[in-house]
Amino acid sequence: MRYRLTFVAGVVLGYVLGTKAGRERYEQMKKQAQQLAQNPAVRNTAESAAQQGREFADKAYHAVSDKVGDRMPDSVAQRVHALRERTAHGPVEDDWGTSNT
């Protein structure tokens, strides 16, 4: 109950402070967030983190596939193979028109 009360108090405080700041302050914070997202250093860091994640996933895939071996169902193996083929040819747009990089 104490945590629920703390949460509700936080929501109320955030609402009150947000309404006092007004739309102008909201637009200012939104613009700053967009500028941060467009910063080349931030974009490079995000891309390197994504690349490291892909490398880690690849290592994990090989470690798991070595242990699982032939016990993986054929349908799963075929799906993994199809996904690896699809991504092996560079960035590909997905069904929503966005790239997976």
Mean pLDDT value across residues 22-40: 85
Q: Is residue 75 part of a domain?
A: yes
pLDDT at 17: 80
Residue whose C-alpha is closest to residue 88's, from 59, 58, 66: 58
Q: Is residue 96 part of a domain?
A: no
Q: What is the pLDDT of residues 55-73, one digit of tens each?
A: 998 888 888 877 776 677 7
Q: Is residue 11 part of a domain?
A: no
Q: pTM of the entire structure?
A: 0.44
Q: Is residue 61 part of a domain?
A: yes
- Residues paired with residue 99 on neighbouring β-strands, in sequence order: 93
Tell me which DSSP letter residue 99 carries.
Answer: B
Mean pLDDT value across residues 37-65: 89
Q: Report the number of distinct structural domains present in the chain.
A: 1
Q: Burial level of 84, CB count in 10 A (0-12/13-18/19+)?
A: exposed
Q: Is residue 95 part of a domain?
A: no
